[in-house]
């Protein structure tokens, strides 16, 4: 078993790499319009009610057709997961880990294909898509190593006459509800963490990215993961998802998505149902209103680069994206003079074309919501960049910067999830931290300053789950920067970290009494001494 290392990204500036990607894009496009089944206990199921996944870069172009699961189908999935759990729970940690290593290797072989799916179904540019696949691979490798570590158990103090140990056992059936914005990485991370610990899974992907989820199910089958360990259920969350969250046999829910949906899950899971014999566990990551502070003693050029990438990478559709830029008044003009030209230089368009940095937002509801927030921002502050739909046949919006925003303004407080950046002036570093903490969220933040005392103050006082010093606030790496936030950003689950798998297991302490030592042993020892 090789030591864990994060995957390197593909270099698309190399002609040979670009040709492979172009070939993969063509292959995926040739598969558009196919119909995909629900998969329960290895059986493929098709229903009367269906829905489509669309290409956000080309309105109306159907990626694929999927089944709308109902409560009856959800109950079938629960039955299959419960039945499989009876045997899967006793499968060795080594066997479970090996499945994750296999999945990782298959994804390496299918990497360009998976990249292409995200470009076309999600609107991610090539590098963002490749980073998503790399993270998915990292999750598999990392959690495989981690479950083997947990399998050894912790070291306990000895007690005379007893053997004491603590073991970790699985919870049961888990409902995995991943988001659309990291349709492979987060989906793979939550799903593999669940079943590598001995649980079985009902996977309910987002209806905005079911095609990529279907490809993951192909990989699950290709790796020969036993049927029923992962059950694939597509459709609206309000029908199948709510039913399973409330189900008395559901043991845990792993969710990533909006604050509103996350709080609804917490509320529903907290109410014990008839026949329920446990407290359901909820692992939730619910978004953010992330910030970058640029201090008067910062490296301005570095901060400009970091702010641009954090705010407009993947159209700002990341829970870690910078949507609040807090600038010390002393460097405000200098920073903005350098920053705005870099934003205006961003190329927007179909990301099937490598030269386009920013693609479409995910769908029409998101498009309309973001434009409405831009309208609100115009009334609260001053628009100095973007603010309009971008020409094209997709859901394109220009990268937008709104200045003169104050802490009480809506675009300072509310999550927009799009390419909209609110800029606020701070009187000094202390005021900047005060502004940073003025939020119900607490996911990520970055602080740019050369002053060591200010760095230490930021480490103590900026209240976020992931704090970055002199670098962008996006791009957490598995095993290096465990990811999860405070307050309304979720349960601080720290995905990709050494504590994460504990959320999918329960500890069992076992004490075995050995009795008193036999006198025979003592007499044997004394006879040996006499002989000597």
Segments making up each domain of the chain, as ranges: 15-286+499-510, 290-469
d(C-alpha 365, C-alpha 232), whole Å? 25
Q: What is the pLDDT of residue 94?
A: 98
Query: Quick one: average pLDDT of 251-266?
Result: 96
pLDDT tens track for 315-354: 999 999 999 999 999 999 999 999 999 999 999 999 999 9
Structure tokens at 182: 């990291």
Q: What value does the mean pLDDT take over residues 62-77? A: 97
Please say whether the structural domain 15-286+499-510 has been given the CATH code 3.40.605.10.
Answer: yes
How high is the mean pLDDT of the chain?
Answer: 96
CATH number of 290-469: 3.40.309.10
Closest CA to 403 of 470, 496, 335, 475: 335
Taking the CA atoms of 180, 184, 186 and 191 in sequence, report the sign of the dihedral they define: positive
User: Can you tell me the distance from the alpha carbon of 530 to that of 423, in angstroms, rounded to the nearest whole number?
Assistant: 88
The angle formed by the CA atoms of residues 362, 367 and 370, to the nearest 5 degrees, is 115
Query: Which pTM was predicted?
Result: 0.95
CB 231 within 8 A of CB 201: yes
Residue (of 316, 287, 356, 329) closest to 472 by Cα position? 316
For 287-305, the pLDDT digits (tens) are 999 999 999 999 999 999 9
Catalytic residue among 113, 122, 146, 319: 319
Categorize the per-residue pLDDT at 532 as very low, low, confident or very high, splitting at 50, 70 and 90: very low
Which of 476, 492, 484, 500 lies closest to 143, judged by CA? 500
What is the tens place of the pLDDT at every residue in 113-164?
999 999 999 999 999 999 999 999 999 999 999 999 999 999 999 999 999 9
Burial of 521 (0-12, 13-18, 19+ CB in 10 A): exposed
Closest CA relative to residue 134, chosen from 292, 5, 314, 245: 5
Classify residue 178 by its DSSP letter.
Answer: -
Q: What is the number of residues in the chain? A: 532
Q: Please tell me if the domain spanning 15-286+499-510 has the same topology as the one spanning 290-469.
A: no
Under 8 Å between Cβ of 392 and 61: no
Comparing 518 with 209, which gets the higher pLDDT?
Answer: 209
pLDDT tens by residue, 420-434: 999 999 999 999 999
121, 122, 285, 415: the active-site residue:
285
CA distances from 377 to 107, 238, 397, 448 (A): 42, 31, 15, 25
Res. 519 pLDDT band, cuts 50 70 90? very low
* Position 241 confidence tier, pLDDT thresholds 50, 70, 90: confident
Q: Is 285 a catalytic residue?
A: yes
The DSSP annotation for 376-425 comes to HHHHHSEEEE--SBPSSSS--B--EEEES--TTSHHHHS---SSEEEEEE
Determine whether 388 is an active site residue: no
Q: Per-residue pLDDT tens for 381-403? A: 999 999 999 998 999 999 999 99
Percent of residues, the chain, with pLDDT higher than 90: 95
Catalogue the E-assigned strands of 1-133: 34-35, 38-40, 43-45, 50-54, 62-67
User: For 86-108, how does the pLDDT look when each residue is reduced to its tens digit (9 = 90+)?
Assistant: 999 999 999 999 999 999 999 99
Q: Which pLDDT value is given to residue 517?
A: 59
């Amino acid at each position: 078993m090789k030591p864990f290392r994060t995957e390197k990204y593909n270099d698309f500036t190399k002609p040979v790499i670009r040709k492979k990607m172009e070939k993969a894009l063509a292959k995926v496009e040739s598969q558009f319009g196919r119909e995909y089944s629900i998969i329960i206990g290895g059986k493929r199921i098709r229903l009367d009610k269906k829905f489509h996944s669309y290409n956000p870069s080309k309105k109306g172009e159907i990626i694929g057709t999927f089944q709308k699961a109902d409560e009856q189908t959800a109950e079938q999935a629960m039955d299959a997961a419960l039945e499989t759990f009876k045997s899967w729970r006793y499968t060795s940690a080594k066997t479970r880990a090996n499945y994750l290593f296999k999945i990782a290797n298959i994804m390496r072989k299918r990497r360009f294909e998976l990249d292409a799916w995200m470009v076309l179904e999600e609107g991610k540019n090539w590098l963002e898509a490749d980073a998503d696949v790399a993270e998915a691979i990292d999750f598999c490798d990392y959690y495989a190593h981690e479950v083997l570590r947990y399998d050894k158990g912790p070291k306990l103090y000895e007690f005379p006459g007893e053997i004491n140990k603590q073991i970790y056992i699985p919870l049961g059936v888990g409902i995995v509800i991943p988001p659309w914005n990291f349709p492979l990485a987060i989906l793979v991370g939550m799903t593999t963490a669940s079943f590598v610990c001995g649980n079985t899974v009902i996977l309910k992907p987002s209806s905005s990215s079911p095609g990529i989820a279907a490809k993951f199910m192909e990989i699950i089958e290709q790796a020969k993961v036993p049927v029923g360990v992962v059950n694939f259920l597509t459709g609206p969350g309000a029908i199948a998802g709510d039913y399973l969250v409330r189900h008395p046999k559901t043991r845990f829910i792993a969710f990533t998505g909006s604050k509103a949906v996350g709080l609804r899950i917490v509320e529903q899971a907290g109410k014990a149902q008839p026949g329920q014999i446990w407290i359901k566990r909820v692992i939730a990551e619910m978004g953010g209103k992330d910030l970058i502070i640029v201090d008067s003693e910062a490296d301005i050029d570095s901060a400009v680069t970091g702010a641009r990438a954090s705010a407009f990478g993947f159209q700002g559709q990341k829970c870690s994206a910078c949507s609040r830029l807090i600038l010390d008044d002393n460097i405000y003009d200098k920073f903005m003079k350098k920053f705005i030209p870099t934003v205006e230089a961003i190329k927007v368009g179909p990301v099937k074309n490598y030269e386009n940095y920013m693609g479409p937002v995910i769908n029409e509801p998101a498009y309309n919501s973001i434009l409405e927030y831009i309208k609100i921002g115009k009334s609260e502050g001053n628009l100095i960049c973007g603010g309009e739909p971008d020409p094209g046949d997709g859901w394109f919006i220009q990268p937008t910067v709104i200045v003169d925003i104050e802490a009480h303004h809506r675009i300072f407080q509310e999550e927009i999830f799009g390419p909209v950046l609110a800029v606020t002036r701070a009187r000094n570093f202390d005021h900047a931290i005060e502004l940073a903490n003025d939020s119900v969220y607490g996911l990520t933040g970055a602080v740019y300053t050369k002053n060591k005392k200010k760095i230490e103050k930021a480490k103590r006082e900026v209240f976020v789950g992931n704090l970055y010093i002199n670098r962008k606030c996006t791009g957490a790496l598995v095993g290096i920067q465990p990811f999860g936030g405070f307050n309304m950003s979720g349960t601080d689950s720290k995905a990709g970290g050494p504590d994460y798998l504990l959320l999918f297991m329960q500890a069992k302490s076992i004490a075995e009494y050995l009795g008193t030592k036999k006198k025979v042993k003592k007499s044997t020892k004394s006879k040996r001494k006499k002989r000597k």
